[in-house]
Amino acid sequence: MNNLQLTEAPVAKAEMLIRKPVAEVFEAIVNPEITTRFWFTRSSGRLDSGKQITWTWEMYDHSVDVDVKEIEVNQRILMEWGNGSWMTKVEWVFTPYEEDKTYLSITNSGFQGSGDEVVSAALDSQGGFTWVLAGLKALLEHNVELNAIADAFPKGLRKH
């Protein structure tokens, strides 16, 4: 394993079909009153182009800064997020599917550090965004709050 080499920078990608119209799925991501039901627990504001906000996961005593670069309503969100020393780019693409469904694609890129750190961060991000999509799907399609993010790292069972 000493000769493993990266030829491309790892990118995290998570995608899922949500059986709700694009406008409803888009609103669930930009509106913290909805997003806090399936992802983070607190936000300093709604996502808007050029806005800087903070998202907090109180159960983990963790916050990230979010710098919203671009929003194309019901189509795309481009943001950077992270904690001080480095930020990564996150792009959300909302694609209408059939009459009233949305295919949501989330891509996270720009991880920094050693090869091992970059791969680990990309894998963690892909897993995390998969949980986000599952929670969003459960909430919008079935009005069920999975608590998947809150239950991913129960205190005392695993260090995060």
pLDDT 10s digits, 21-39: 999 999 999 999 999 999 9
pLDDT at 156 over 80: no
Examine the pLDDT at 1 and tell me if it is beyond 70: no
HSE toward the beta carbon, residue 122, CA cutoff 13 A: 19
Please choose, from the candidates 136, 119, 127, the residue with its C-alpha nearest in 3D space to the C-alpha of residue 17.
136
- 20: confidence class by pLDDT, cuts 50, 70, 90: very high
pLDDT reported for residue 159 = 58
Residue 68 contacts residue 82 (beta carbons within 8 Å): no
Quick one: tokens of 115? 């090869």
pLDDT of residue 61: 92
Model pTM?
A: 0.93
What is the pLDDT at residue 79?
98
Q: What is the mean pLDDT of residues 10-20?
A: 97
2 vs 139 pLDDT, higher one: 139
- pLDDT (tens digit per residue) in 39-72: 999 999 999 999 999 999 999 999 999 999 999 9
Res 83: pLDDT: 79
Q: How far apart are CA 3 and CA 18, in angstroms?
A: 41
Reduced to 3 states (helix: H, G, I; strand: E, B; else coil), residue 29 is helix
* Residue 15 exposed, middle or buried by CB count within 10 Å (0-12, 13-18, 19+): middle
